[in-house]
């Protein structure tokens, strides 16, 4: 950990974020502009995210596969909106094995095209549908303004690609996977996301409809944290994904795609972190509990380490992800700061007095100072720890939800909208015309985030132009 | 599954292999030359391989991380042998975001260079060592003659990269990971590999010493199935991985790297497969047991499916990876062939007679015909199945070991060596001169595979030139 002081969140949120990522050793800058190295602590967090999502994908009938990294340039051109959206961002391989390639290959920015091509080979009859495949992998998009986890040239994600025999089934799949993402975000990451539909301007290049989970970060900016797209027959027509239906007539399939990336790690950092560093939700934290043994004399050391070993064994048997900090070259205060920076949800302190009293000190990461400290008997420790981790998880979600709700506004007019989006989100009627969306963006830097799914049908007046509007939309500045 | 007939192994082993991979839906050809799509059945097999290896990596103190896909061309040039070995095989990105790049980027063929660069940033003191990091990912090598799983432009693997403060520790790590690979191959995949050291000609570009696990395929050719390299200080010097030792003096670190790839799936196919298709080891098989319900009348159907459901529930509760084949558009004989092609270790048949007798039929994939069939009471089924899967696993290893041992020869002279390597391996004294190695290759197509670790010290005469030799080496034709 470097000694440079962490800026507070209110001083400089962006720099606070960058420093947190580096100091907690989640990630580091790579030697290629805009690329990152995800360090073991960050990758273990990603592995826990992967496990939580993968379990949900498999429970909803999906299987994993792997499609190639390199895609012929001509594939992208088969879907008009898709190529327009992605061509400015491509990394292109022009040389292979020392020779200039006849057709350049792109490093996949997303895989609808190559997967569409393969599905057209595999699908013949209605019996071959649905195909419910997910892929865990890396993609490359040549971003100009990059930020660790949030926007990097290469990032890691999963991309699900499904093909169905009916529009309704594909639309249901789109929303099913949005629900999976929301369930994961809320119940595993304690990130209270809002489910909604993207505007025409903001939708995925090639989609009929894009849905999203949007999260509010600690500076009130919105982060698109996962998306699920209904692609209609756009890619099925571009790649001839056709099947014989039960009447033996040839039909185009209906497809979806959905993705969640290492960007989500950014969501966790900026939802929960405080001026001391990361705060990780217990269900995803690489280390749930750190034990710091405290001693000065050799006699104390032996007694304290005996208890430490025993306690560690107990907690490990209870499947708690545990680290004991045995370092002797640094003092306990340094260790506290170090593990607070890394966001470990619960710290256990064991000193000579604790040995005597057959107790330990528990210190919650989410409640600094005395409020978060308690003394617990060594006998009932693992049950207490499990309960406390669950309490921390709940409490983190409650705090983030309260923060979000207190920063969602219902402005009465455009002037008030312009004001509230400087420190929050606006939920307002919008007529769905692009001019009004652009006006908000140009004058306030806020974009439309989503039409929340959870809204009553009704009618109001557009917050921008006053014309009739059928749906409310969230306006917010975003990452 | 296509209807084209599978060639037998003796007719055409190579085409038998290609057809098996396609028909069992392990993988398919991608639209880019030499690339493959790993289909869900193949990817699940890879996931099981990953889990078995990853557990062993973590048990030996390693953690996972992710380093960038794209590497500056100049990095490769810092280690002379490394760049010479890899430059003919590179895929090069020359365009990014529509602009020609100032410095071309290579798509990683392996990551010693970029990881060496990062380690040089992270390592300062002896306290920072060892670094024990593994990465699961994809790499690209521009191969000219490709074959599904065995040699593809893009493949999936893990690459471990460690840095140590002493030569001895790095050498120990090299052999520890070779042991991990051998333990995995033998005990999870039932592939009886031989551990050994590569010759100077065959070692990794940039290594001081390369070790390997070599497996004998069903046509007696050798397959290098995993490698572990002692890199000395070659990469530490090229990338300045330096640390202050306990006397505060600056030292270069010692590094290792080790990898096992999707090529291993080829080893499983060619070690165990027969003329009916794949035979998968139970410990890695995506589906360990398939149940085929058999009925004609509606009354039978209801009774049979009732029992099937109950049996399936029992086996799932026992954590057996299970598939019930409910298809009605194909008959049981078709299903038997289909699951035999896919190598499912154990089939359960349930028909009206079995319902009556409260029994089921078990059919082992590794013993075709009556010999592999048994009738088992429904009451003790899950225990019987678990036991039988273990028996199949053991029996597969025994059969592969016996096959291998019966094809290892001790030729008395070069003429006999030339003969035996046409249908087996030779274990012979070799003087370690390149001329003798080349002569064998030129005249017999056999290369040196490895000096087996398991050999007594001694001295003999080189099988080629008759000069004194200190070690025996395996000569074999290889993939």
Burial class (CB in 10 A: 0-12, 13-18, 19+), B346: buried
Contacts of A89 in chain B (CB under 8 A): 97
Tell me the torsion sign for CA atoms A103, A106, A108, A112: negative
Q: Which of B378-382, B390-394, B465-469 has the lowest mean pLDDT?
A: B378-382
pLDDT digits (tens, 9 = 90+) for B330-352: 999 999 999 999 999 999 999 99
Q: Do A30 and B107 touch (CB under 8 A)?
A: no
The CA R_g of chain A, rounded to the nearest whole Å, is 25
Closest Cα in chain B to A70: B32
Q: Do A37 and B89 touch (CB under 8 A)?
A: no
Q: What 3-state DSSP class applies to A136?
A: strand
pLDDT digits (tens, 9 = 90+) for A373-382: 999 999 989 9
Could you give the ipTM of this predicted complex? Answer: 0.96
How far apart are the CA of A29 and the nearest CA of chain B, in angstroms?
A: 9
Backbone phi, then psi, for B111, in 5-degree steps?
Answer: -120, 20
Give the per-residue pLDDT at B3.
Answer: 57
pLDDT digits (tens, 9 = 90+) for B444-466: 999 999 999 999 989 999 999 99
pLDDT digits (tens, 9 = 90+) for A130-142: 999 999 999 999 9
How far apart are the CA of B401 and the nearest CA of chain A, in angstroms?
A: 32
Cβ distance B194 to B181 under 8 Å?
no
pLDDT at B223 exceeding the cut of 60: yes
Cβ distance B395 to B365 under 8 Å?
no
Query: What percentage of chain B exceeds 70 in pLDDT?
Result: 99
Give the per-residue pLDDT at B457.
Answer: 86
Q: B408 falls in which pLDDT band (50, 70, 90)? A: very high
Chain centroid to CA B425: 20
pLDDT digits (tens, 9 = 90+) for A187-206: 999 999 999 999 999 999 99
Give the per-residue pLDDT at A369.
Answer: 87
Q: How far is CA A439 from CA A448, B94, B169, B423, in A?
A: 11, 39, 64, 77
Interface test with B, best of A93, A130, A163 (most B CBs within 10 A): A93
Contacts of A44 in chain B (CB under 8 A): 63-64
Rounded CA separation B328/B348 (Å): 17
pLDDT at A326 exceeding the cut of 70: yes
Rounded CA separation B173/B176 (Å): 5
How far apart are the CA of B67 and the nearest CA of chain A, in angstroms?
A: 5
Q: Do A37 and B91 touch (CB under 8 A)?
A: no
Q: With both helix axes pointing from N to C terminus, report the angle between B381-406 and B298-317 in degrees, rounded to the nearest 10.
A: 70
Rounded CA separation B70/B111 (Å): 10
Give the per-residue pLDDT at B4.
Answer: 67
The residues with which B147 forms a beta bridge, in sequence order, are B151
Give the per-residue pLDDT at A368.
Answer: 86
Contacts of A90 in chain B (CB under 8 A): 95-98
Contacts of B71 in chain A (CB under 8 A): 32
Tell me the torsion sign for CA atoms A177, A181, A183, A184: positive
Q: What is the rounded average pLDDT of the residues A272-279?
A: 97
pLDDT at A3 exceeding the cut of 80: no
Backbone phi, then psi, for A53, in 5-degree steps?
Answer: -75, -45
Q: What is the rounded average pLDDT of the residues A63-92?
A: 94
Tell me the torsion sign for CA atoms B247, B248, B250, B256: positive
Rounded CA separation B222/B407 (Å): 11
pTM to 2 decimal places: 0.97
Q: Which of B230, B35, B241 lies closest to B123, judged by CA? A: B241
CB atoms closer than 10 angstroms to residue A359: 17
Rounded CA separation B124/B63 (Å): 20
How far apart are the CA of B449 and the nearest CA of chain A, in angstroms?
A: 26
First CA to last CA distance, chain A: 27
Chain centroid to CA B50: 11
Interface test with A, best of B3, B38, B48, B68 (most A CBs within 10 A): B68
Q: Do B35 and A68 touch (CB under 8 A)?
A: yes
Among B46, B65, B89, whose Cβ lies nearest the Cβ of A43? B65
Q: What 3-state DSSP class applies to B123?
A: coil
Q: B1 falls in which pLDDT band (50, 70, 90)? A: very low
Contacts of B72 in chain A (CB under 8 A): 31-32
pLDDT digits (tens, 9 = 90+) for A391-418: 999 999 999 999 999 999 999 999 999 9
DSSP state of A286: S
The residues with which A448 forms a beta bridge, in sequence order, are A475
Q: Do B28 and A121 touch (CB under 8 A)?
A: yes
Beta strands in A231-298, from DSSP E residues, in sequence order: 242-244, 250-252, 254-261, 289-293
How far apart are the CA of A134 and the nearest CA of chain B, in angstroms?
A: 9
Q: Where do the domains of chain A lie, and which CATH numbers do they carry?
A: 13-272 (3.30.930.10), 289-388 (3.40.50.800), 408-476 (3.30.110.30)
Contacts of B156 in chain A (CB under 8 A): 66
pLDDT digits (tens, 9 = 90+) for A422-477: 999 999 999 999 999 999 999 999 999 999 999 998 999 999 999 999 999 999 99
pLDDT at B5 exceeding the cut of 90: no
How far apart are the CA of B138 and the nearest CA of chain A, in angstroms?
A: 8
* Averaged confidence pLDDT in chain A: 96
DSSP of B195-226: EEE--TTTS-TT-SEEEEEEEE-TTS-EEEEE
How far apart are the CA of B363 and the nearest CA of chain A, in angstroms?
A: 27
CB atoms closer than 10 angstroms to residue B28: 18
Q: Buried b / exposed e across B387-421, counting CB within 10 Å, b at 16+?
A: ebbeebbeebbebbeeebeeebbebeebeebbebb
Rounded CA separation B221/B207 (Å): 25
pLDDT digits (tens, 9 = 90+) for B276-304: 999 999 999 999 999 999 999 999 999 99
Q: Which of A75-84, A315-324, B381-390 has the lowest mean pLDDT?
A: A75-84
Give the per-residue pLDDT at A1.
Answer: 47
Interface test with A, best of B33, B34, B91 (most A CBs within 10 A): B91
CB atoms closer than 10 angstroms to residue B233: 16
pLDDT at B2 exceeding the cut of 70: no
Q: Do A43 and B66 touch (CB under 8 A)?
A: yes
Among A65, A71, A94, whose Cβ lies nearest the Cβ of B39? A65
Contacts of B114 in chain A (CB under 8 A): 30-31
Preceding peptide of B130 cis, ω within 30° = yes
Beta strands in B123-221, from DSSP E residues, in sequence order: 131-140, 154-164, 194-197, 209-216
Helix (H) or strand (E) segment spanning residue B390: helix B381-406
Chain centroid to CA A471: 27
């Amino acid at each position: 950990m470097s000694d440079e002081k962490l800026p507070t969140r209110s001083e400089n949120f962006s720099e606070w974020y960058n420093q947190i990522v580096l100091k907690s050793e989640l990630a580091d800058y790579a030697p290629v502009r805009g690329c990152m190295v995800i360090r073991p602590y960050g990758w273990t967090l990603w592995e826990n995210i992967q496990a939580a999502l993968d379990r949900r994908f498999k429970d909803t009938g999906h299987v994993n596969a792997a499609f190639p990294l390199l895609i012929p340039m001509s594939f992208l051109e088969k879907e008009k909106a898709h190529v327009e959206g992605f061509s400015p961002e491509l990394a292109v391989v022009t040389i292979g094995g020392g020779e200039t390639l006849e057709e350049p290959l792109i490093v996949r920015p997303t895989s609808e095209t190559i997967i569409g091509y393969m599905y057209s080979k595999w699908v013949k009859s209605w019996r071959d549908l649905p195909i419910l495949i997910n892929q865990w992998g890396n993609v490359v998009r040549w971003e100009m303004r990059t930020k660790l986890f949030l926007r990097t040239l290469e990032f890691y994600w999963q991309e699900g690609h499904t093909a169905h025999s009916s529009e309704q089934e594909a639309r249901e799949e789109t929303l099913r996977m949005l629900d999976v993402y929301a369930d994961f975000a809320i119940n595993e990451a304690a990130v209270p996301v809002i489910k909604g539909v993207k505007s025409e301007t903001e939708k995925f290049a090639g989609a009929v409809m894009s849905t999203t989970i949007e999260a509010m970060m600690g500076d009130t900016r919105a982060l698109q944290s996962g998306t699920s797209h209904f692609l209609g027959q756009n890619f099925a027509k571009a790649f001839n994904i056709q099947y014989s239906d039960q009447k033996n007539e040839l039909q185009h399939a209906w497809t979806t795609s959905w993705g969640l990336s290492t960007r989500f790690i950014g969501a966790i950092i900026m939802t929960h972190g405080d001026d001391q560093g990361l705060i990780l939700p217990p269900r995803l934290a690489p280390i749930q509990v750190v034990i710091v043994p405290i001693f000065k004399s050799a006699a104390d050391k032996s007694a304290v380490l005996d208890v430490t070993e025993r306690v560690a064994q107990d907690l490990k048997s209870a499947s708690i992800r545990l680290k004991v900090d045995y370092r002797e070259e640094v003092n306990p205060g340094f260790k506290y700061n170090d593990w607070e920076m890394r966001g470990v949800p619960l710290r256990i302190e064991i000193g000579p007095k604790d040995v005597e009293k057959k107790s330990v000190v528990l210190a919650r990461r989410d409640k600094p100072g005395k409020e978060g400290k308690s003394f617990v008997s060594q006998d009932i420790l693992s049950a207490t720890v499990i309960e406390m981790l669950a309490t921390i998880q709940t409490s983190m979600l409650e705090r983030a939800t309260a923060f979000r709700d207190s920063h969602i506004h219902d402005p009465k007019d455009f002037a008030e909208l312009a004001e509230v989006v400087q420190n929050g989100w606006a939920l307002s009627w919008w007529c769905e015309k692009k001019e009004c969306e652009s006006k908000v963006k140009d004058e306030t830097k806020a974009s439309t985030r989503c039409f929340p799914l959870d809204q009553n049908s009704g009618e109001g007046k557009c917050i921008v132009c006053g014309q009739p509007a059928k749906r409310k939309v969230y306006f917010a500045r975003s990452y």
